[in-house]
Amino acid sequence: MELKLGNLTTEKRNQASLKIDTLSTAEVVALITREDQKVFQAVQEELPRIAQAADLLTEVLKRGGRIFYMGAGTSGRLGVLDAAELWPTYGVGTDQVKALIAGGTEAVFFPVEQSEDDEEAGLRDFLAESPTSRDALLGISASGRTPYVVAALKRAQEIGMVTIGLACNADSEFSKIADVTIAPVVGPEVVTGSTRMKAGTAQKIVLNTLSTTIMIKIGKVYQNLMVDMLPTNAKLVARAEQIIMAVTGAPLTDVRRVMANSSNNIKLSIIMLKADCDRDTAQTLLAEAEGVVGRALQLINAAEGSDS
């Protein structure tokens, strides 16, 4: 793929920072943060594409498919971060959302920059996951042209997968391939080409928004509470207790008793307390509600109404 970096907004020189090396510390800090304010407007302009991508990816998970993130450098690390945090926050593991980064695990901690040019490695890493048409691929790249990712996106399209691109340049290579391309154009970086800055911030915001929306849509949130969170340490156990008390109004002693019986499962604990039932009955109710707490509570309320 021929390199034409001069055409990329993310590679242009920022006229506001041409003399940044002569500014005082306070002036440098002010300039960087002033430029960062442009990120939020750029993301706002992409809301229709973010919503469209969220709906497509939600359907992928609902039908039992998987979502793969792929990126290199900062973009790849942001994908790894987003995917890793879905496990403790929503109970979603790598069997549903998995991140692939050019250069492998080493690249999370150390620069393996040449790996982003390796199309064959991109295909190899992607195909090693045995993707099918039920799955989705989300490619992440500030430039929107990273060969490691583009090669996989092209193959994903051939397979019939849902394909999403996340870039920070308009009319990128991604936009020619993906079903939906989200492209917050944040403008030239304060330090030319340093896309870990505004571009990275924009990608982080989009990934947070996208994955959180998907988790809400598949029933991982009740009201604004993380009801599929995994209470794996003291802080998270305390948070789980607070969540259950907030939903049920039960005292802490009852909450702790039910949590012990449900193996610290927040959803089951809520249903057990609201329906005054055992774990097996709660599991049945939750299954009927397709794992959605709000729907399960409606079933409980309807049953109580019919008994009165």
Give yes or no: residues 252 and 142 share one domain: no
Out of 165, 190, 217, a domain closes at 217
Give yes or no: residues 210 and 233 share one domain: no
Give yes or no: residues 101 and 146 share one domain: yes
Give yes or no: residues 49 and 193 share one domain: yes
The β-bridge partners of 97 are 67
* In the predicted structure, residue 2 carries a pLDDT above the cut 70: no
Give yes or no: residues 266 and 209 share one domain: no
Structure tokens at 225: 């509470």
Range of the domain at 51: 5-217
Out of 217, 247, 278, a domain closes at 217
pLDDT digits (tens, 9 = 90+) for 152-169: 999 999 999 999 999 999
Give yes or no: residues 233 and 190 share one domain: no
pLDDT digits (tens, 9 = 90+) for 222-257: 999 999 999 999 999 999 999 999 999 999 999 999
CATH number of the domain enclosing 259: 1.10.8.1080
Give yes or no: residues 129 and 17 share one domain: yes
Catalytic residue from among 11, 35, 46, 116: 116
CATH number of the domain enclosing 24: 3.40.50.10490
Percent residues over pLDDT 70 in the chain? 97
Active site residue 116: yes
Please state the pTM of the whole predicted model: 0.92
Residue scoring higher pLDDT (5 or 285): 285
Out of 195, 217, 239, a domain closes at 217
- Looking up tokens 């060969």 gives 147
Active site residue 85: yes
Q: Look at the chain and count its residues.
A: 308
* In the predicted structure, residue 37 carries a pLDDT above the cut 50: yes
Give yes or no: residues 22 and 95 share one domain: yes
What average pLDDT is seen over the chain? 94
Give yes or no: residues 208 and 226 share one domain: no
**pLDDT on residue 4:** 62
Give yes or no: residues 264 and 175 share one domain: no
pLDDT digits (tens, 9 = 90+) for 42-66: 999 999 999 999 999 999 999 999 9
